Structure 1
């Protein structure tokens, strides 16, 4: 008989937990890697623990609306045994009964989760209808899970092109709001759960959320998120769902290297409300300060609560001048709405648990109750961003931006950042906002991390690496080990050509068991450019039978093509498509498919690129697809795509400075208008190293214009620097060929021969029939024997 389940509950067996809401399986706090089908099988079998289930029953029960054969079931069982670390013949959890089926042997119990609010906001769903892909999380709570990767090559024309980044590049500002573990500077605080003796559940969670945001506006304060506090409880072998009482808050505070913990409380005395807050030292628990305030009615609670927060800040040692400068409560009295705040609080809790769509409904309710609730609009835009709804993301953040003067300084920075990201695409405004945020809140890891991300993306690699050092120092001091932090640091170090730091960052992440798909992606690229095929294979093996497999195979395919191995690349991309179909992640394919087709054209396989373009599924306007169209002579389609980019995003920095001019420059080169191509590429100079496309195309333009010295300058930016490419690009090796051609223009045969030799060495394992390789060999012969 199936185990009955209620909303907000998980199944536990041995030291494993199955959470149907997030479609995750945890062991000792670490998430197992399971594909969609394996998870569905495990969940169904655990619900029917002890029962003998025939193959037919499993197929009908797990996939009632899909045709799945017995072989797929066997593969799922095999994947489960591997994930659960069953030894051959052990049958510790799953028994195979010949001629009868399978039996789940482990005793299973149902336990509540920390996100079960009892409010009945989220209904339990059967596994076949759950969404497996976990994306990002809402704005004030850290997550150590993988963030959804997006492509910097797929332009977010409506939602904001500036936000789009390579699949191996961390997602931008919107989702980074999720991982602000501590928002301030000199004091890290843990908030105990509200002691609510009023009998009114409206205050639960709500007042703690107000306290958190009001404290985090101070550069002096950092607040440990509820999610991190709950994970720390679990590490302490405490029930993570239990109330975070003052004694537990103190112990959590010690574990995270905090300095103070705050104990908030509210009680009702007749018709009056008594509010108290006490600040204690984590080291020995002694009181640093305590204050109490009474109000005559419920509608005065929020104002009084903000008054007490100011006193907490003073008790913890913040200066009066700092409190005066950063003193904008989440709610001012004229717009106070406890109902709106409660909806907002519950929305953030749902978003923190990955329930983005459900959280949006509550954010909408919050702004219906209070149309001037700027923070709610901002966080709602983040949720839309996370589900890839660009239109509503743009609308919500525009509303927040229009009333940004109503929020505190920290929230204002965030709103300005998101507006630049999703609405205007103004890269200068985005970076300016980030730099001001870091200057104002130097101990806040959110803007620091985003600076690593965006400085990397814009090609400022030394600066990105320096910020990565600061993030690492800050998070280590707070005992934070976050997978996405390691990922963006590894990427920054990779592009800055700091291989020892790349290896050290990856090793440390593996040591703490906090990794991401993007981190493994960086390591695959790093291994490929260093000729370490064994490590490339290990990274692919990590992804096998997971939703990450398709993307990792695409990355490996691009690395093969960068070495001139087009046949191997084609096989890897075909394998990737099969994996994507199996895991139902086909929508993640177009970005690197477009890039792959473009690289095929770059290595001379234009007919192959032309045929692939015909079968690629429709997608948002893509720089790479437009490039390919221009390369193969479809000028009308390429120009139409470029004009669409410009019309949809007229203020976007990269659209106007790089994307549109680059496509026009390719067409100019195809039409023998070299001087026009040189002129068109002038606007992209500030982003010279952001993308190998820029120096490579500029080099080609100068070469066609017979400006060999300028061409050499551009090609030398790429040659022998494969770490500039993300993903792997043939352009860094083709740059040697560009240099050889430029030297040949100057009749410098010795230097030309040297560069031809370097190109042939880099492509020593290349397919011998590649057109561009054949051209290069003929050119070399002509150089030696004019």
Structure 2
């Protein structure tokens, strides 16, 4: 479920707004017409031209704002669908047969021959149907070192023959030796890197890109593609260095490539999320049919935790290029975060049906299996990853998270160690440091202080210059009391990443808040964490798709320390409400413990007991020596008798009940706690068990004039399981109506249905009591919102 960025410039799908010319008549193309670029027939006997000329020609033609080029990914997918090897050359004979499958309007092929020391090049464009020649350009190069320049000149001439005007040619025509490289060998390795990345993944493509840069250090496109590959491998420090170097080569970039590299510079280099989003949106506006801009924009919204926007842009990118595996991964990641699990599964299977595969697709399948509780499917994905460099380490890390989620910290520690080793064996230092750092922070959260500190030291040994490694180590030191080392790392991060949005606005406030909590300054921690609020659902470490929502967890802890139970409960509910975002993170499991503690502070002893029990059920096989588990058990043992009963128990405490079968309006008798502010009397219509089905209940006089028709919510104990949709409806009602009463029907053992009519909004609630472990004797009507919140253990 890893987010991906792909290099632009070579794979662009742009609007076609020109005319193709061939002798005799002019053919106009619509903005949906596309051009297939084929291979060169090489009769020179020199292998250096194989692959390189087609790549170079694509780079040159991609400068045009008019031509719509079919991506190499889409061509490869089409070949596979026809049971043809993806590396098969696109010849003059094969191209017409592919046109129909690619929805191409025209295709282009070339030839290169040698006459003494002169190389003769020919570019020919044909209509797909009929296969009729449209335009041809010939040129010659005096020596091998002049071939790239000659090819660029021929490409520019062909653009004119195909209808592009002179002004456009003048503006968008950087010499090919500057747009790419004057070295055929460098272009050949660049082409190989793109092919390997497409077919085998980023890890195996890195050496080819590095070789291209070695042959031509000023090859800007090779550096930007290397940056993207590093990013996709979680090698974020290396990605930042590579994109900075590409950014500095401004004179070696076409107009379009300059736009892309600049945006990537803000994205991967400085980490300025808002500038990156602004750049991608400008790109989308200029080139609305470019899948790269939209797909990369989705990745930015992952960082912000805006999964709705991410899903929208990822789907648009996928529609533009269904052959890019990255867009399937991005759509699936967004769907999982939004708990659209069936949609996520469908999109992954769709990718597989197109013969696309990538480690990130399998980590997404693992995440889906976890959320569904399918241990067999999880095991299958782990088995798939064994021995696969760049995949095994990530899957082992996921497996470690799952064990820790169940309280199996010893198993998690061992799996994390294997993940670190697998990453190091693949020369992936930064992912190794991230897996080590995540393990160290888990140890700290679970109370294993010495182990956490020891593992944090290893993080910095593995990747001392990694931003993410420093972030995780600093967080661990702040959690375990080594504030001097934590502050030293914070100072380094603040100075080295001045423009990085996530560092400055999310991680530094979070680390400082953790230090404040350790110093018993919870109010200060809450203030510090306010800056992180816009990013708390985001992917804050590298480009990992899971988010533990650390700022939310720490804010909940701060409110617990301040004895603000209702506010703490709201934070821990966020973790439960964002299961697709949190996934198998430790914070998802500890959310139940946090809720229990918050409910106990708020005086909801019965609700607290239920939450404690949920936590203990989840950790029923947990390591018995975990400090956090020991503390939870001690808290549970000290929990007093229910002081605030739910449902019928609360009503029996606070109201004189009518007789069986009666319906009456009664007065509240004084009670010490649990049913509202002492000293107030509420006139409440009530239906007791055995009474005829309740008719429409009029709102209490305390309500506003807007109607509150029927809002049904059952109460009772033990182990109350309140549907979140009903809780949300209650909270929404109370926010919009200052003093409403909530009429409640008595369903007894029957299905329960109700509707809230609030203004023009209707919320339909349907529940069956057999889905709840409640047996209410009586359900009251007219409970005020504040009282309802206390009874239900909710924070409004």
Please tell me the TM-score bracket, short chain as reference: 0.5 to 0.7
Q: Distance in 2 between matches of 1:734 and 1:200?
A: 64
Aligned partner of residue 514 in structure 1, secondary structure: coil
- Offset of residue 504 of structure 1: 1.2
Instruction: Identify which of 168, 172, 178 aligns with 1:324.
Output: 168
Q: Which residue of 2 aligns with 1:340?
A: 182
- Alignment of 1:664 onto 2:512: yes
Q: Quick check: which has more Rg, 1 or 2?
A: 2
Aligned to 1:679: 527
- Is structure 2 residue 410 aligned with structure 1 residue 561? no
Which residue pairs with 2:21 in the alignment? none
Work out the CA distance in 1 between the residues paired with 2:8 and 2:207: 16
Contact 2:55-2:191 within 8 A present in 1 as well: no
Q: Can you list the C-alpha shifts for 1:73-105, whole angstroms capped at 9, x where unaligned?
A: xxxxxxxxxxxxxxxxxxxxxxxxxxxxxxxxx
**Distance change >3 Å, CA 514–CA 309, structure 1 → 2:** same
Counterpart CA distance in 2 for 1:733 and 1:392 is 34
Aligned ranges 1:122-201 → 2 under 5 Å: 169-171=2-4, 173=5, 176-177=6-7, 181-185=11-15, 186-194=32-40
Q: Specify the alignment match of 1:651 in structure 2.
A: 499
Question: TM-score of the superposition, structure 1-length normalised?
Answer: 0.67
Residues 201 and 579 of structure 1: CA distance in aligned 2, closer, same or farther (over 3 Å) = closer
Q: 1:438 to 1:764 in 2, by over 3 A?
A: farther
Separation in 1 of the partners of 2:516 and 2:57?
59
Whole-Å separation in 2 of the counterparts to 1:583 and 1:377: 21
User: Which residue, out of 363, 367, 375, partners 2:213?
Assistant: 363
Alignment partners' CA distance in 2, 1:672 and 1:344: 59
CA pair 396-272 structure 1, distance change in 2 beyond 3 A: same
Residue pair 1:360, 1:383 contacting (<8 A) in 2 also: no
User: What secondary structure sits across from 1:191 in the alignment?
Assistant: strand
The Cα of 1:665 is off from its aligned counterpart by 1.0
Distance change in 2, residues 1:549/1:193 (3 Å): closer
Contact 1:720 1:732 in 2 (8 A): no
**Contact map agreement 2:240 2:268 (CA 8 A) in 1:** yes
Residue-by-residue CA offset, 1:127-149 (whole Å, 9 max, x unaligned): xxxxxxxxxxxxxxxxxxxxxxx
Q: CA deviation at 1:670?
A: 0.5
Name 1:725's counterpart in structure 2: 582
- 2:562 aligned with 1:705: yes
Query: Which residue in 1 is equivalent to 2:602?
Result: 746
Q: Secondary structure at the match of 1:714?
A: helix
* 1:737 correspondence with 2:593: yes
- Shift of the alpha carbon at 1:609? 2.6
Please show how residues 355-754 of structure 1 align to structure 2 within 5 Å. 356-357=206-207, 359-366=209-216, 374-375=220-221, 378-379=224-225, 397-402=243-248, 404=250, 407-476=253-322, 480=323, 482-547=324-389, 548-573=391-416, 576=419, 588-613=431-456, 617-620=461-464, 621-690=469-538, 691=547, 692-725=549-582, 728-754=584-610
**Is residue 770 from structure 1 mapped to residue 616 from structure 2 by the alignment?**
no
In structure 2, the residue corresponding to 1:290 is in which secondary structure?
Answer: strand
* SS of the residue 1:246 aligns to: coil
Deviation of the 1:523 alpha carbon: 2.0
Which secondary structure does the structure 1 equivalent of 2:575 belong to?
coil
- Distance 1:330-1:309 versus aligned 2 partners, 3 A rule: farther
| Corresponding residue number in structure 1 for 2:672 | none
Task: Specify whether residues 331 and 709 from structure 1 end up closer, same or farther in structure 2 by C-alpha distance, changes over 3 A only.
Answer: farther
* Counterpart contact for 1:326–1:409, Cα < 8 Å: no
SS at match of 2:399: helix
The one-character-per-residue Cα deviations of 1:652-697 (angstroms, maximum 9, x if unpaired) are 1111111222111111100101122122212212212114112112
Q: Aligned-pair distance for 1:348?
A: 1.3
617-626 or 296-305: which moved more? Answer: 296-305
Tell me, in whole angstroms, the C-alpha distance in 2 between the residues paired with 1:384 and 1:570: 26
Deviations 1:96-132 (A, max 9, x none): xxxxxxxxxxxxxxxxxxxxxxxxxxxxxxxxxxxxx
Counterpart pick for 2:157 among 290, 308, 313:
308
* Alpha-carbon distance in structure 1 between the residues aligned to 2:356 and 2:602: 53
Q: CA deviation at 1:459?
A: 0.6
Range that drifts further, 583-592 or 706-715: 583-592
Secondary structure (helix, strand or coil) at the match of 1:187 reads coil
SS in 2 for 1:672: coil
Distance 2:33 2:588 in 1: 47
| Post-superposition offset of 1:377 | 5.3
Q: Does 1:290 align with 2:132?
A: no
SS of the residue 1:443 aligns to: coil
CA contact under 8 A between 2:505 and 2:532: conserved in structure 1? yes
1:134-283 pair list within 5 angstroms: 169-171=2-4, 173=5, 176-177=6-7, 181-185=11-15, 186-194=32-40, 208-218=54-64, 221-225=67-71, 229=75, 232-233=78-79, 236=82, 243-264=89-110, 277-283=123-129
1:707/1:386 Cα in 2 relative to 1: closer, same or farther (>3 Å)?
Answer: closer
- Aligned 8 A contact 1:348 1:359 in 2: yes
Instruction: Give ranges in structure 1 of 5+ residues lacking alignment.
Output: 1-167
Q: 1:272 to 1:766 in 2, by over 3 A?
A: closer
Q: Distance in 1 between matches of 2:358 and 2:268?
A: 25
Between the aligned partners of 1:538 and 1:626, the Cα distance in structure 2 is 35
Answer yes or no: is the 8 Å Cα contact 2:107–2:125 preserved in 1.
Answer: yes
Q: For 2:253 and 2:64, locate their aligned partners in 1 and report how far apart those are by CA, in whole Å.
A: 13
C-alpha contact (below 8 Å) 2:109/2:123 kept by paired residues: yes
Q: Residues 595 and 624 of structure 1 are in contact (CA less than 8 Å); yes or no, is this contact kept in structure 2?
A: yes
Query: Shift of residue 595 of structure 1?
Result: 0.7
Q: 1:500: Cα distance to partner?
A: 0.8
Instruction: Provide the rounded CA distance (Å) in 1 between the counterparts of 2:369 and 2:13.
Output: 36
Distance 1:356 1:546 in 2: 16
* 1:147-169 Cα deviation digits (max 9, x unpaired): xxxxxxxxxxxxxxxxxxxxx62
Residues 325, 456 of structure 1: alpha-carbon distance in 2 compared, 3 angstrom cutoff = farther
Judging changes above 3 Å, is the alpha-carbon distance between structure 1 residues 735 and 309 closer, same or farther for their aligned structure 2 residues? farther
| Displacement of 1:647 | 2.0
Question: For residues 402 and 581 of structure 1, what CA distance do their matches in structure 2 show?
Answer: 31
Provide closer, same or farther for how the CA distance between residues 606 and 640 of structure 1 changes in structure 2, counting only shifts above 3 A.
same
Answer whether contact 1:214 1:309 (CA < 8 A) is retained: no
